[in-house]
Amino acid sequence: MTGSDTGLVPSAGGAVGSGDYTVKQGDCLSSIAQQTGHLWTTIWNHPSNSELKKIRKDPNVLLPGDQLFIPELATKKYDCATDACHTFVLKTSPIKLRLQFFKEGKPRAQERFSIDIDGRAVAEGKLDQQGGLEVPISPNAEAAHVLVGDGQNATEHAFVLGGVDPITEVSGIQQRLRNLGFNCEPSGQLDEMTRSALSLFQRMNGLQTSGESDESTRNKLLQVHGC
């Protein structure tokens, strides 16, 4: 699908890039880097991935089918004394999950929360003044479950991690709208449900109400969603 027919996503064009690694649903550059033994910056900044970098812009929002060049691992040698213990530190890039919760348009400031990642409890406490939380996660994390509030005010939220397509794709727009609580299924088609969700999002954010995803709408959606 191209945006020239609908005005939805002018730069949409499906998978991009070159290389032997084909991005799968749920992949992000951090998880790919961990699988292949690289820092994500090594892959992202490699000249062979310049086309993909230019189009995708965000290393952790890739489209299934994108092609990545993965360089070979370089071997390093170190001179060490014998009959002694030596410590080697593996460089990694920390990954954090950031979430923000609202109720009736207002941040759920200082409400209690607990969060599980892939079925394992990782943190509990209080949301910050903006209704946000931040926790470190594994690059291969797949799902998060968050309980916010106490008693009758408690709400449960489930998130699929690594499953958001680029904003240049219809599915990426739909996924972000759904994550923000709009009635929108990621069908990949600009259907009436998506147009209604876009219109509501535009009205709530002071944008021209058209039901189309023009550049200003996409930029605002990225800002509100966070990526």
What is the reported pTM? 0.69
Structure tokens at 28: 């992000």
Any bridge partners for residue 67, and if so which?
17, 22
Over pLDDT 70: what percentage of the chain? 91
Cα separation of 205 and 126, whole Å? 28
Give the model's pLDDT for residue 113: 97
pLDDT at 90 (0 to 100) = 61
Spatial distance between the Cα atoms of 163 and 24, rounded to a whole number of angstroms:
10
Helix 192-204 vs helix 215-225: angle between axes, to the nearest 10 degrees?
70
Pair 102, 108: CB distance under 8 Å: yes
Rounded-to-integer distance, Cα 57 and Cα 131, Å: 28
Q: Kindly list the structural domains of the chain, giving each domain's residue range(s) and its CATH number in brackets, ordered by start.
A: 11-68 (no CATH), 95-160 (2.60.40.1120), 170-225 (1.10.101)
Query: At how many degrees (to 10) do helices 215-225 and 170-179 cross?
Result: 40
- Are 174 and 187 in contact, with CB atoms under 8 Å apart? yes
d(CA 35, CA 81): 31
- Would the pLDDT of 138 be above 70? yes
75 contacts: CB under 8 Å, gap ≥ 6: none
pLDDT tens, position by position, 65-120: 999 999 998 777 778 787 788 776 666 666 888 898 988 888 999 999 999 999 99
The Cα 144–Cα 160 span in angstroms is 7
Tokens representing residue 146 in the block: 């968050």
**3-state secondary structure string, 161-191?**
CCCCCCCCCHHHHHHHHHHCCCCCCCCCCCC
pLDDT tens by residue, 176-207: 998 888 999 888 888 999 999 999 999 999 99
Range with the poorest average pLDDT among 24-38, 88-102, 115-129: 88-102
